[in-house]
Amino acid sequence: MKNFRRDLNIFLRTVRGRSYPRLIGMQREKSWIFFDTFLPLLATTAYVFIYRALNAPPEFTGFVVLGGAMTAYWLNVLWSMATQLYWEKETGNLSLYLIAPTSRMAILLGMALGGMAATTLRAVTVLLLGSLLFDVTFSVENWGALLLVFVLTLVALYGLGMIFASLFLLWGREAWHLAQLFQEPVFLISGFYFPVRNLGFWVSIGASIIPITFGLDAMRQLLYPQAQWGFLDVNIEIAVLALLSVLFLVLAHRMLLWMETLARREGRLTVRGQ
């Protein structure tokens, strides 16, 4: 019992300690908040004007603004979760993490929670500014379901980020390139800027491995109940997201242990400048 309490205490302190720089770092470098908000907003604005050039119905502006806000989470997962252990290796912190008497999962969880909180501020700003600039209105009938979808999407998404972080632990320079590779192709297959069902049934089902796919689709259905652009029923999408949340967290734990062992064996934990 005493050991459990001590372990839990260390776990929670690690989570807090690792999420702290995510939140405080944002305050220290305020210009980053501007860039992190401004960049997704630029792309979002460009996509809004494409729909305007095509004389699209007004709800498509809302689709794009919501998709633009959610890009902040995907970019955060890619660049601040997946590649994080690679950065830590490059800057020499990884070995310190490994000799610290704490759980690696706690470190990843801290990164995820800190990143989630910091990114939510950016996503909300993009959503608000986008809505104000382009006169977007949402008609939410079920706030509870919307909140549930949003939370489940984030849990599953950051779980996926933890899995990626373990994978990227093994990689050198290719980690950087592969993170870039996961940007636009994921924006495409997850339907960030158009309803995902237009990709066809099987592609959309395949894309649902990335939690944002169903998350965005369900949120759009809940924000625009009259639009009829949904892929699957919202309840099914919620169930899949719940399943992915559990699956990804369990997998992340296993992967982290396995990759760490592999990286130790192959001597890749301290290799820098690859």
Partner 1 sequence: MSTESIKMNNWHESARSFRVATWLGWQIESNWTEPFLFMIYAIARPVASALILVFMYMVIAQGGMGHPLFAYIYLGNAFYIYVASVMIGISWTVTDDREHYGILKYIYAAPIQVYFYLLGRGVAKTLTATVAVVITLAFGMLVLRIPYDFLAMNHALFWATFFLGLGALALMGILLAGVALITARHSGFIGEAVAGALYLFCGAVFPLDVLPQPLQYIGLSLPLTYWLEGLRRAVLRESISPLLAPISNEIILVILLGATLVLGLASLGFYRWCEHRAKEKGLIDMQTMY
Q: C-beta of 35: minimal distance to partner 1 in Å?
A: 4
Binding partner 1 (rule: CB under 8 A), the pick from 103, 120, 131, 183 is: 183
Rg (CA), the chain: 19
Q: C-beta of 81: minimal distance to partner 1 in Å?
A: 17
271 near partner 1 (CB under 8 A) = no
SS3 state at 245: helix
Binding partner 1 (rule: CB under 8 A), the pick from 6, 177, 254, 264 is: 177
46 near partner 1 (CB under 8 A) = yes
How long is the chain?
274
| Distance of alpha carbon 179 from alpha carbon 87, whole angstroms | 12
- Under 8 Å between Cβ of 63 and 220: yes
Residue 34: enclosing H or E segment and its boundaries?
helix 30-53
Nearer Cβ to partner 1, position 92 or 254? Answer: 92
Nearer Cβ to partner 1, position 43 or 100? Answer: 43
* 72 CB neighbour count, 10 Å cutoff: 24
134 near partner 1 (CB under 8 A) = no
| Distance of alpha carbon 82 from alpha carbon 248, whole angstroms | 13
Q: What are the residues binding partner 1 (CB under 8 A)?
A: 29, 31-32, 35, 38-39, 42-43, 45-47, 49-56, 60, 90-91, 172-174, 177-178, 180-181, 183-185, 187-188, 192-195, 198-199, 273
